[in-house]
Amino acid sequence: MADLKTLVLGKKDIADLDTETEMPHELMTVNMGPSHPAMHGTVRIVLTVDGERIVKGDVQPGYLHRCFEKEAEHATYTQIFPYTDRLNYVSPMINNCGYAMAVEKLLGITHRIPRRAEFIRVIVSEISRVTDHMTCVGASAMELGAFGPFLFLLKAREWLYTLLEEVSGARLTHSYVRVGGVGKDLPAGWLPKLAARLTETEAALAEAEQMLNLNKIFRDRMAGVGALSREDAIAWGQTGPVGRAAGIDYDVRKDHPYSVYPEFEFDVPVGTTGDCYDRYLVRVEEIKQSIRILRQAMAALPDGPVMIDDGHVALPPKAEAYNTIEGMIRHFKHIVDGIKVPAGEAYTFVEGGNGELGFFIVGDGTGRPYKCYVRSPSFVHLSTAEKIFKNHLIADIVPIFGMINMIGGECDK
């Protein structure tokens, strides 16, 4: 007896259909990007596919190359802060801190930064890290169809942006940190607000987690997709959540401690499988650890100045600049010539939102850097994308990309 399909379609049609389903075994080239909804920022991928399976993927960054290095060579040390904001625009404070630390290292004033300034830097950096991870998790979830968690996490991010705006005056691109300290002290009554917001953020995060962790669609799309072994991760220089998910127990805050991080207690989450779901779990856990650090830092925040007391580095107080001739000359020299940084080179790295964020600065004794290279984690992580994609389906690019968390400004500099 003929099967149902034949009865419905008839013998001839089924024969035609069968020959049609025999696709010629040929590789096809598919172009993705540079403007594609699933690409954070802009990147182009030229895929060679066998049906739905990716055989080769040529990832081409550079669509947002804004010449950070060339701009930095033409700007004074203080003027570079706005450019660093726009490297990783999801966690600008960490970039600010990393760059400031590199210049301070060249100046040799690392140990003279006021303690209060160090604490404030830790506080704003950790808030930035929370917003970074929230954006990453929320946006990736949205791309996989979960719009709810995106809205929940963005709502929480909005609270934190408002807090950072109160500190720095800008919602997104803060330029708050200065060489030798921070721009200004925390506003009065800010810490209780932060404490309240942290509790609410935790609640929002818990809600988002509830929606995602046991969500079948989310798990199916993330778990087992885009795995990277520990050896490969090391050979490709992976750090941050991507490296930690692959089992590399490396966090700059623990392994090469800087600032006042040794004084805080926090754990470094490490994954086992190195797939997208592990990366997601590592990020969520890091948000919690950041909140833990924030609570400790708020409790231990000392009093005191927030800017180094050194006329070569700090701007004179406004009253002095407006009322005395010496103060005004100093102010003018500071703005026009920049901070005189002695000749030499220094590499400083901090734990950025995505991993090891380093600044390699060569000073030549003038007020402008001779060279200012940034080691951007996104760039390093994106270079593995090609390797990770292989033998996955085209649809898997979305979670892989989301969890690599490539930030255009940082990757392309």
DSSP helix/strand/coil, 322: helix
| Closest CB to other proteins among residues 59, 297 | 59
Site for other proteins in 373-402 (CB under 8 A): 373, 375, 379-380, 382-383
From the list 221, 282, 218, 220, the residue with the least C-alpha distance to 247 is 282
Contact call for residues 51 and 402 (beta carbons, < 8 A)? no
d(CA 291, CA 206): 13
Residues in contact with other proteins, counted by CB under 8 A, come to a total of 75
Interface residue with other proteins among 347, 390, 393, 395 (CB under 8 A) is: 347
Among 46, 109, 360, 394, binds other proteins (CB under 8 A): 360
120 neighbors 182 (Cβ within 8 angstroms)? yes
Site membership for other proteins, residue 158 (CB under 8 A): yes
Six token digits for residue 386: 């090609």
Q: How far is the CB of 387 from other proteins (least distance, A)?
A: 8
Task: Tell me which of 14, 46, 49, 154 binds other proteins, using CB under 8 A.
Answer: 154
Decide if residue 413 touches other proteins (CB under 8 A).
yes
CB of 184 to other proteins, least distance (A): 20
Binding segment toward other proteins, per CB under 8 A, in 153-161, 176-184, 303-311, 317-325:
153-161
State yes or no: residue 173 binds other proteins (CB under 8 A). yes
Helix (H/G/I), strand (E/B), else coil: 358: strand
Spell out the SS3 assignment of 61-117: CCCCCCCHHHHHHCCCCCCHHHHHHCCCCCCHHHHHHHHHHHHHHHHCCHHHCCHHH
Site string for other proteins, 46-85 (x = CB under 8 A): --------------xxxxxxxx-xxx-xx-------xx-x
Q: Is 409 in the site for other proteins (CB under 8 A)?
A: yes
Tell which one of 42, 49, 109, 263 touches other proteins (CB under 8 A).
42
Residue 241, interface with other proteins (CB under 8 A)?
A: no
Distance, in Å, from the CA atom of 31 to the CA atom of 368, rounded to the nearest integer, reads 41
| Window contacting other proteins (CB under 8 A); options: 6-14, 189-197, 275-283, 371-379 | 371-379
Measured distance CA(400)–CA(221) in Å, rounded: 10
Rounded least distance, CB 3 to other proteins, Å: 40
> Of the candidates 56, 115, 155, 197, which one interacts with other proteins according to CB under 8 A?
155
Smallest gap from Cβ 348 to other proteins, in A, equals 8
Give 284-304 as a 3 state SS string. HHHHHHHHHHHHHHHHHCCCC
Q: State how far the Cα of 157 lies from the Cα of 308, in Å rounded to an integer.
A: 31
